[in-house]
A and B are shown apart, each in its own frame.
Chain A
Amino acid sequence: MDSNQILSELNTIFKDVLDNNKIQLTTATTAKDIEEWDSLSNIHLVIEIERHFKLKFTTSEIQSWKNIGELVNSIEKKTSK
């Protein structure tokens, strides 16, 4: 799966979980850019992302992402294996 495809699928998950249809993710997006994205919804996001892409992150991976781009990279690495 290429990174654009991942980004677009992530966008759907974010809209859904955060209940905000206006979200437009880019690789530079961070939690600061989206009001609904707090520590609680972050957990819910991670669970839904894991479920959607059928993969598991480690806790340190989850804590390492600085922006959406790094999350996309993580997913790309795991799905290409």
Chain B
Amino acid sequence: MYGQYTFSDLKSNLKKDFSGFKKVKLALLSDSASQFLNIAIKGFGYNRQLHFEIYEADYNQVDLQVSDPFSELYTFNPDFIFINFSTEKLLTAFYETESSLQGVFSDLVLQTIQKYMDVIFSRTRSKLIINTYPEINDSVFGNYSSKNEASFIYQLRKINLLLMEKSQENKDLLICDLAVLQAELGYSFISDKKMYAMADMVYSVDAVPYVAKIITDIILSYQGTFNKCLILDLDNTIWGGIIGDDGMEGIQLGHLGLGKVYTELQLWAKQLKQRGILLAICSKNTEEIAKEPFIKHPDMVLRMDDIAMFVANWETKVENIRYIQSILNIGFDSMVFVDDNPFEREMVKSAIPELTVPDLPEDPANYLAYLRSLNLFETASFTEEDSERTKQYQEETLRNILQRSFDNGNDFLANLGMTAIVKTFDEFCIPRVAQLTQRSNQFNLRTIRYTEEDIRFLCKDPDFLTISLSLEDRIGHHGLIAVIILKKQDEYSLFIDTWIMSCRVLKRGMENFTMNMIIDLAKENNFEKIIGEYLPTNKNGIVTNHYKDLGFELMDNKWFLDVASYQEKNTFITNSNKAWTAIRY
């Protein structure tokens, strides 16, 4: 699909209007000529509403730019640094290495990379992107290379694996997997020997848009833009045939007909669900008939408890997708809709342009490979809570039903029996806290993104106070759903650096409970003022009046609250840990 953007398309994007797009500063350092890559990344950004400001280092200046503390790289102060290494240069370096050291070549390469990382991370807050190397067998040892540690391909593969390991050790090292790109497209497609000979460009002009897409995918996910939900059609999408006509025994699944194709698609969807992607069903069908295979068919992979929302009726898909969105309460721009019917797809696309609607190939045999090639579910994190997400949304549906049985909201809240677990950040919650700062767009007052490293750093800083809040009720656990980071501004005042809440718990009075907690903490530590700030984005409109509603007063774009005159807010949430204010300076 992204092959549809040619280099010329991306180049012509540069003339378009980038105003209003999110700005990202990217430094591009390369050991080969990178001008085309620069153009392609900037142009690709336009398609994803990103305004890349790119500093492109002069040709082959990686070492100089990284080691010189006064280099343009550091003056530029990038959000992301992409160091683009080429296999061609690696091969030359390998040949120039003494033969007695070729067997440990990968260690030498990794030492250099570690050196770059140390310097970059000590001087900047940038994230560093490094690519894996596309594979070349230099045919010096042929297939015997596998048996010889000192062969080039053996060392190259080892480098790629070591890079992945290094990125697991260091959260700020991100990998742009060009080895996988090459596996998909082939070396003869991604490289252009003529351009390499004439201009030292290693990638073909057809390959640079793909590299640009990978870089953009990675950066977007770290900016908090990624897909969270997969909406699936049923008939001829996750099974072959039409359940209403063919019946349970007639639909193609498992060994029947093209069944394997659909079974493998379901297996993939199930993996996504385990990773934390919400699955929703949207089908024109009678509900009971549509659900039957999920309950009874022996070859179904997806079962009812894999599905966060099941919508089967005779309304239009547009209406049903709007309904799914309203219940799950996530943006259309984080949802993917997969349907075999081009007519339905077009209807949905034109009605809800923010939604991602892949144009499935005509032949179902190609569905899965095509979907995989789009890399729709890039992510910047994975925590244990992710795999629980579907269950939490199912519980949410139960709460909705319960709520309808009460005439007024307060009775419902009182009946829920909500308990909050209040803690200062600990090692267990740090991944989830960092993830909330990365993912939350709506109930997020200042939208400051933190990595796990950042959070650990700030836990050690005596000027910071942290609160994590988890919520449970008689229906289930919400998990960790709110994060507060307070910064001592001066002896008397506390600044609310971060206030984030998951939209799963909107309208539970969590804001009131949290505010009471902040005040308790302020009192314990003899602060007199609380200062809040609202930084508007395209997505956090729901908290525009957050501080006003809590009784803060606006002065010079900051919100102020006097601790002594604070009136404790009404809440239906009880605190499971009365002693929590023991955390103090």
Contacts and interface: CB of A to CB of B under 8 A. Distances in A.
Interface of A: 16-17, 19, 39-40, 43-44, 47-48, 58-59, 62-63
A10 B528 CA distance: 75
A-B pairs with lowest CB-CB distance, top 4: A47-B205, A59-B197, A40-B35, A43-B199
B555 interface: no
Nearest to B35: A40
Contacts of B401: none
A21 to B, nearest CB: 13
A17 B8 CA distance: 8
A37 to B, nearest CB: 15
Interface string B29-67: 000000110000000000000000000000000000000
Contact of A59 (B12, B15, B198): B198
B8 A43 contact: no
B89 interface: no
Contacts of A17: 8
Contacts of B8: 16-17, 48
B239 to A, nearest CB: 42
A59 B35 contact: no
Interface in B88-138: none
Given A17-B8, A44-B205, A48-B8, A59 B199 contact: no
Chain B, interface size category, equals 10 to 19
Interface of B: 7-8, 11-12, 15, 35-36, 194-195, 197-199, 201, 205
23 contacts: A16-B8, A17-B8, A19-B15, A39-B199, A40-B35, A40-B36, A43-B36, A43-B195, A43-B199, A43-B201, A43-B205, A44-B7, A44-B11, A44-B36, A44-B205, A47-B195, A47-B205, A48-B8, A59-B194, A59-B197, A59-B198, A62-B198, A63-B198
Given A43-B201, A63-B198, 6 more contacts: A40-B35, A40-B36, A43-B199, A43-B205, A44-B11, A48-B8
A47 B205 CA distance: 8
Contacts of B7: 44
Contacts of A59: 194, 197-198
Contacts of B198: 43, 59, 62-63
A76 B194 CA distance: 21
A41 to B, nearest CB: 10
A39 B12 CA distance: 19
A14 B431 CA distance: 53
B30 to A, nearest CB: 14
A59 B194 CA distance: 6
A62 B198 CA distance: 9
A11 to B, nearest CB: 17
B34 to A, nearest CB: 11
Contacts of B15: 19
B276 to A, nearest CB: 42
Contacts of B197: 59
A17 B36 CA distance: 13
B10 to A, nearest CB: 12
A58 B193 CA distance: 11
The interface centre, meaning the residue of A16, A40, A43, A48 with most chain B CB atoms within 10 A of its CB, is A43
Contacts of A58: 194
The interface centre, meaning the residue of B15, B36, B198 with most chain A CB atoms within 10 A of its CB, is B198
A69 B197 CA distance: 24
A17 B6 CA distance: 13
Nearest to B204: A47
Nearest to B206: A47
Contacts of B194: 58-59, 62
A16 B201 CA distance: 22
A40 B7 CA distance: 14
Contacts of A44: 7, 11, 36, 205
A40 B205 contact: no
A48 B194 CA distance: 14
A40 B198 CA distance: 10
A59 B205 CA distance: 16
B203 to A, nearest CB: 12
Nearest to B199: A43
Nearest to A40: B35
Nearest to A56: B194
A56 B12 CA distance: 25
Contacts of A40: 35-36, 199
A62 B195 CA distance: 11
A52 to B, nearest CB: 12
A43 B8 CA distance: 13
A46 B157 CA distance: 34
Contacts of A48: 8
B103 to A, nearest CB: 35
Contacts of B199: 39-40, 43
Contacts of B11: 44
A58 B197 CA distance: 11
A59 B201 CA distance: 14
Nearest to B197: A59
